[in-house]
Amino acid sequence: MIELILGGARSGKSRLAEQLAQDAGLEVIYIATSQPLDEEMRARIAHHRQQRPAHWGLIEEPLALAQVLREQADARRCLLVDCLTLWLTNLLLDGDPERLGRERQALLEVLEGLPGRAILVSNETGLGVVPMGELSRRYVDEAGWLHQALAHCCDRVQFCVAGLPMLLKGTRETGN
C-alpha cells in the first residue's frame, strides 16, 4: 500500500500521516528529508522529533530517497516520508542539474512493487499565486508534475485542509 498525503502548510497532513503509520500495526521508519540549515529549521526538526513516538526508527536523507526506500522496505514495515517538497527543494539546489530527474525517476520506479506500506507527505503548492522568480516557478512546476506522477502510481491519495482529510483516490481505511 502506497499512499500520498497532500496539503498546504499546517493543514494537518503530517499529523494524519503519523496517525495512519501508528495505526498500521507495523514497525515504523520515519524518513525525514529536511536539513537543519538554520536555527528555525533546527527548531522545527526538534519539535517534530518530540512529537513522534520514541520507538519509531528515523532516517534523515535529503537526496537519495529511492535508495533509502529500497533498502528499508519490508512487508512488516511502514515507511513514512516527510516531506517530498523539501526533498524536491534539496534536489533543485543540488549542484548536479541532472540529479532531480534521476532521483524522481528512481522514486517512481522503486514505488512499484514496494513491499509493506509507504506513506508519502508533500506540500500542495499549486493553489496559490504564480511565483515571480524562475527558481520558485520551477519548484511549483516540478512539485505539480511529481504529485501527478505519484498520484497515478499510489493506491490512495488524500488531501488535507484544516486538519480534515479528503479522499481523492482509493478507499478509506476502517477506523479513519
Residues annotated as catalytic (active site), given as ranges? 48
Looking up cell 511529481 gives 146
How far is the first Cα of the chain from the last one, in angstroms, to the nearest whole number? Answer: 16
Angle of CA points 103, 109, 112, to nearest 5°: 145
Evaluate whether 13 touches 7 at the Cβ level (below 8 Å).
Answer: yes
Distance CA 109, CA 147 (A): 15
Q: Specify which residues 98 forms β-bridges with.
A: none
DSSP single-letter state for residue 131: P
Phi, psi of 112 (to 5 degrees): -70, 120
Q: Specify which residues 5 forms β-bridges with.
A: 121, 158
